[in-house]
Homo-oligomer: A and B are copies of this chain.
Amino acid sequence: MSQYVFGVDIGGTTVKLGLFDENGNILDKWEIGTNTEEDGKHILPDTAESILNTMKEKNIDKSQVLGVGVGAPGPIDDAGMVYGAANLGWDTFSISGTLQELLDLPIKAANDANVAALGEMWKGGGKGYKNLLLVTLGTGVGGGVINNEQILTGTCGAGGEIGHMHINDDETEICGCGGYGCMEQYASATGVKRIAERTLAVTDTPSVLRERKLTAKAIFDAVKEGDEMAIDIAKQFGEYLGKSLASVATVLNPEAIVIGGGVSKAGEILFEYIKPPFMRTVFHGCKNVEFTLATLENDAGIYGAAKLILG
């Protein structure tokens, strides 16, 4: 009799769900809205209901379900306890315990960025690597560390939060985390836009960027067109990100660094700006790193969540 796994990725707007067979092939995927009302107390019951409905529709018996893997924002420890997730309204409680009561199935939960890293290792841009770092350059910078094919969770699930490495003592603007000079203030989609605004403001040098909406994609498009200002901006971005990744790689000695998130849509050209400062500053024993692009996009979470169960 066939065996199945559910992978769940809980976000602030939608909950993504995937049904996988025991070999990790995806059979179906769908999403439901995230109801953050009343401190997000409906999110897990809604998720459980969606899973139970799917099992009924597809005639899947409880005995055929190996388990449900869950990725969610916030620090989540290895026991499935979440220590608050502001954008869901969640305080501290056990995700695993709650879902287990609702579904009577084995549950595993982990931080969404870490789960995405596991997904990319399994089926995406990190396929074939056992030790990797996923860096998600979106509105912020997320990070997930895979060590020996396992998530590096850390003590309370904050492992891999590389976006909040402090890299600049002179920063005067505050980061979303409350700190100053975090890596994500320069290397996220918002960060590279901020570098561009600052750079354009201090010169009169002509640039196609002065007539375009400033996005990470627009900046790297201008780089491809040979725009001098855009190249200068890309170099600044690359210095911040490349040197930060070198520090991380000197700690972790990964095989691969997988770049995902909105900024990664600029493509391989990113590596031209990240790699030189990386290679200049990384410990020589950790130089042998492959840079790749993430490939699963919004599905990385459901894949990684399923992999939590499939082990």
Chain A residues near B (Cβ < 8 Å): 75, 78, 83, 130-131, 143, 145, 147-148, 152-162, 164-167, 177-179, 181-182, 243, 246-248, 250-255, 281-286, 288
Contact = CB atoms under 8 A, between A and B. Distances in A.
Do most interface residues of chain A lie in helix, strand or loop, or is the interface mixed? loop
Contacts of A160: 251, 253
A258 to B, nearest CB: 14
Contacts of A148: 78, 153
B285 A179 contact: no
Contact of A155 (B75, B155, B251, B255): B255
Question: Which of A75, A145, A153, A285 has most chain B Cβ within 10 Å?
Answer: A285
Given A154-B131, A154-B286, A285-B75, A251 B177 contact: no
A182 B285 CA distance: 14
A16 B301 CA distance: 48
B162 A250 contact: yes
Given A161-B251, A167-B247, A251-B252, 14 more contacts: A130-B155, A143-B251, A147-B154, A154-B253, A154-B254, A156-B253, A156-B285, A157-B285, A158-B250, A158-B283, A158-B285, A160-B251, A166-B250, A177-B284
Q: How many copies does the complex hold?
A: 2
Contacts of A253: 75, 153-161
A78 to B, nearest CB: 8
Contacts of A179: 281, 283-284
A181 to B, nearest CB: 8
Contacts of A167: 247
A183 to B, nearest CB: 9
B252 A154 contact: yes
B251 A145 contact: yes
Contacts of A254: 154-155
A156 B75 CA distance: 29
Nearest to A280: B166
Contact of A243 (B166, B246, B248): B166
B251 A166 contact: no
A240 to B, nearest CB: 12
A166 B75 contact: no
A83 B286 CA distance: 12
Contacts of A130: 155
11 contacts: A130-B155, A154-B253, A161-B251, A162-B250, A166-B250, A166-B281, A166-B282, A177-B283, A179-B281, A182-B283, A251-B252
A279 to B, nearest CB: 11
Contacts of A159: 251-253
Nearest to A281: B166
Contacts of A182: 283
A11 B148 CA distance: 28
A253 B147 CA distance: 14
A272 B155 CA distance: 24
